[in-house]
Amino acid sequence: MRVLRWCVVVLLVAGCSSPAPQKPAELPPPAEPAAAPALTVTPAGRVVPLAASPEGVVADGVTHLVSVGVREPNALALVDGRTGAIVKKVPLPGFLRHLQLASPGGPVLVPDETSNSLLTVTLPGGEVTSTVMTGVVPHDATKAGNGSYFVANELGKSVVVVRDGKIVHTFPDVTQPAGLAPVGDLVGLVDVRQNDLTVYDANRLEQVARVPAGAGPTHVVADKRGHLAVSDTRGNAVLIYTLSPETKQIAKLDLPGTPYGITYDPARDHMWVTLTARNEVVGLNLSGGTPKEIARFPTVRQPNTVAVDPGTGRLFVTGTADGVLQLIDP
């Protein structure tokens, strides 16, 4: 009988105790480009030597200059897109991984990750005209339709808005922000830890949408319809989103090979995506609503970034492993 009462007490005490606290779910690591294999096919087009670890490239259709981030030493290489010759190297305080143009003809937006700052560099002269401290490891920067610059601080867990050389707003609603792209006064952002796409209103300075973006998104570009295209690197796909009347995914194209770098040619309505696991670049026609593959070229090794000159249609692919730049006329 004493044993029975003791058991009841033990059960009652156990039943009244609080459950063990649950640990928050761990987010997956960010998606990364694949470690590219050695070349087995001759790269298409022409390959020119550049400098160590080229990554981050943008082509200007007005000056036909191609801006490329290089290292050892850190610089912005300005390359003649017609000849492949280096016109100038602009010294930088640190290194970068992504570049965008503020407008056709420049300036180039340079998110300098080492110095935690956004630099603007003129074209064709290559002068640094402004430097703004933005946050820890600025990964990408873009210009919204209203003239504001949005900067994604990848390790600073924030997106900042810059106007007239000053930070006017900070969005702390991100974990590891990465690629940015504008659609008028809206700006899309991919978060590589949360694996989602966030849309901000540059006028109201507020978040207007957040939706899932695949298994491991890394980069985003806008097309001339106001759609956003996301490279789902871990998910081996390209995802297309509309922003109106609501933000939602409207198309998906499976693209095995670890898609990473992405660019858009508005003159031809073509998008180009690098496959880092295969040393390839794939052309997609967006005119039909759903992306349709139209071309595929062998690239240089480790094709982490790609750009297109909208005036000529020429592609520029960085060979990060071998310090080269590839010029392809599709």
pLDDT of residue 26: 81
Rounded to whole angstroms, the Cα distance separating 141 from 153 reads 9
192-231: per-residue pLDDT in tens?
999 999 999 999 999 999 999 999 999 999 999 999 999 9
Q: Does residue 259 belong to any structural domain of this protein?
A: yes
- Residue 284 · residue 238 · CB < 8 Å: yes
Q: Does residue 3 belong to any structural domain of this protein?
A: no
- Residue 241 · residue 211 · CB < 8 Å: yes
CATH number at residue 312: 2.130.10.10
Q: Does residue 174 belong to any structural domain of this protein?
A: yes
Give the residue numbers spanning the domain of 160: 48-328
Q: Does residue 257 belong to any structural domain of this protein?
A: yes
Rounded to whole angstroms, the Cα distance separating 328 from 298 reads 10
Confidence bin at 85 (pLDDT 50/70/90): very high
**Is the pLDDT at 104 greater than 90, yes or no?**
yes
Confidence bin at 3 (pLDDT 50/70/90): very low
Q: Does residue 10 belong to any structural domain of this protein?
A: no
- Residue 271 · residue 264 · CB < 8 Å: yes
Confidence bin at 288 (pLDDT 50/70/90): confident
> Alpha carbon of 67 to those of 21, 38, 59, 224: distances in Å?
51, 26, 6, 23
Q: How many domains does the chain have?
A: 1
Is this model's pTM higher than 0.85 or not? yes
Mark 258-274 as b/e (b = at least 16 C-beta within 10 Å): bbbbbbbbeebebbbbb
Q: Does residue 70 belong to any structural domain of this protein?
A: yes
151-200: per-residue pLDDT in tens?
999 999 999 999 999 999 999 999 999 999 999 999 999 999 999 999 99
Q: Does residue 42 belong to any structural domain of this protein?
A: no
**Is the pLDDT at 302 greater than 50, yes or no?**
yes
Residue 118 has which token pair?
Answer: 């956004």
Of the candidates 272, 298, 254, 259, the residue with the CA atom closest to the CA atom of residue 38: 298
pLDDT of residue 7: 32
Q: Does residue 39 belong to any structural domain of this protein?
A: no
**Is the pLDDT at 14 greater than 50, yes or no?**
no
pLDDT of residue 105: 97
Mean pLDDT of the chain: 93
Rounded to whole angstroms, the Cα distance separating 81 from 204 reads 38
Residue 14 dihedral angles phi and psi, to the nearest 5°: -65, -40
